[in-house]
């Protein structure tokens, strides 16, 4: 069965282009033009939602809040014309799973949808010690308390957790963290690992991301 994807976008031309594009990629698109229709159409058989932030009747983030409050569990990918970090963070705190700035290529949306569907299908991963990665809600829990992670942070941590204390090579971390194949400098990877260490420390975890110089990293 083709996964049903709710497309919430008020721009008629873009909505139709997404509908046709997703159809070509073997999804079953379910188009909606505003927040009210989105809430009506977000049934349990929807596998994922693509949600524009700038809707005529509501802010997409409020729509996402309402969907989550109604028990909608499927991944949500936000679309927005805005680029700011504040927007990105408020998108995640609204219960979104990923974020795409307009204009974007359909191929990128499809890649993100597939990644989100895959994450949603895999069960939560447990690490040794005090850390649980929740692949459904896209966060980590330390001592039972949720800690928000960006999609890249989540993917990096997931591969470290899966390695179960063994070394992960830096190039494997880059491959996992940036699945769309972006060029990532050493410095960028280090910045993300620094952020993960800080989040683990601030959450009171006994785990950190260790470094074997020139080889890779491990969670221990
Ligand atoms: Ca719009």
Q: Write down the pLDDT at residue 126.
A: 57
Q: How far is the CA of 52 from the centre of ligand 1 (A)?
A: 6
Domains contained in the chain, CATH given: 4-120 (3.40.50.2300), 125-219 (1.10.10.10)
Rounded to two decimals, the pTM is 0.59
Q: How far is the CA of 34 from the centre of ligand 1 (A)?
A: 9
Q: Write down the pLDDT at residue 200.
A: 95
Q: How far is the CA of 44 from the centre of ligand 1 (A)?
A: 25
Radius of gyration of the chain, Cα coordinates, nearest whole angstrom: 18
Q: Write down the pLDDT at residue 131.
A: 86
Q: How far is the CA of 87 from the centre of ligand 1 (A)?
A: 15
Q: How far is the CA of 107 from the centre of ligand 1 (A)?
A: 20
Q: How far is the CA of 173 from the centre of ligand 1 (A)?
A: 35
Selected residue with higher pLDDT from 208 and 180? 208
Q: How far is the CA of 14 from the centre of ligand 1 (A)?
A: 9
CA distance 103 to 124: 33
Q: How far is the CA of 144 from the centre of ligand 1 (A)?
A: 37
Q: How far is the CA of 60 from the centre of ligand 1 (A)?
A: 9
72 and 96 in contact (C-beta within 8 Å)? no
Q: Which 8-state DSSP code applies to residue 11? A: -
44 and 152 in contact (C-beta within 8 Å)? no
Tell me the two tokens of residue 129.
């010690």
Q: Nearest Cα to 98, choosing from 108, 67, 158, 203? A: 108
Backbone dihedral region of 129: left (phi > 0), alpha (psi from -120 to 50 degrees) or beta? left
Q: How far is the CA of 72 from the centre of ligand 1 (A)?
A: 22
Q: How far is the CA of 55 from the centre of ligand 1 (A)?
A: 5
Residues with C-beta atoms within 5 A of ion ligand 1 = 10, 52, 54
Which strands make up the sheet holding 131-134, listed edge to edge?
Answer: 125-126, 131-134, 139-142, 145-148
209 and 217 in contact (C-beta within 8 Å)? yes
* pLDDT per position as a tens digit, 11-34: 999 999 999 999 999 999 999 999
Which residues face 6 on adjacent strands?
30, 49
Question: CB-based contacts of 22: which residues, under 8 Å, 6+ apart?
Answer: 5, 7, 28, 29, 110, 113
Q: How far is the CA of 210 from the centre of ligand 1 (A)?
A: 43
* pLDDT per position as a tens digit, 103-117: 899 999 999 999 989
Q: How far is the CA of 113 from the centre of ligand 1 (A)?
A: 19
C-alpha 69: how far from chain center: 19
Burial class (CB in 10 A: 0-12, 13-18, 19+), 13: exposed
Q: Write down the pLDDT at residue 83.
A: 64
* pLDDT per position as a tens digit, 115-172: 989 877 766 555 566 888 887 677 888 877 889 999 899 999 988 988 888 899 999 9
Q: Write down the pLDDT at residue 105.
A: 94
């Amino acid at each position: 069965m083709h996964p049903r994807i709710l497309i919430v976008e008020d721009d008629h031309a873009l909505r139709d282009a997404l509908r046709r594009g997703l159809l070509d990629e073997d999804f079953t698109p379910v188009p909606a033009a505003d927040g009210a229709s989105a809430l009506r159409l977000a049934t349990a058989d929807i596998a994922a939602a693509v949600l524009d932030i700038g809707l005529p009747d509501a802010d997409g983030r409020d729509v996402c809040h309402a969907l989550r409050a109604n028990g909608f569990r499927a991944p949500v990918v936000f679309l927005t014309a805005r680029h700011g970090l504040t927007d990105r963070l408020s998108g995640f705190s609204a219960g979104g799973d990923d974020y795409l700035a307009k204009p974007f290529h359909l191929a990128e949306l499809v890649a993100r949808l597939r990644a989100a569907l895959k994450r949603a299908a895999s069960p939560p991963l447990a690490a040794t010690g005090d850390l649980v990665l929740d692949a459904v809600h896209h966060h980590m829990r330390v001592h039972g308390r949720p800690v928000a992670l960006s999609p890249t942070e989540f993917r990096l941590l997931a591969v470290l957790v899966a390695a179960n204390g063994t070394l992960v090579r830096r190039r494997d971390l880059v491959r996992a963290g940036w699945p769309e194949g972006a060029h990532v400098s050493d410095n960028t990877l280090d910045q993300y690992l620094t952020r993960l260490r800080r989040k683990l420390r601030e959450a009171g975890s006994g785990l950190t991301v260790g470094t074997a110089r020139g080889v890779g990293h491990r969670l221990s």
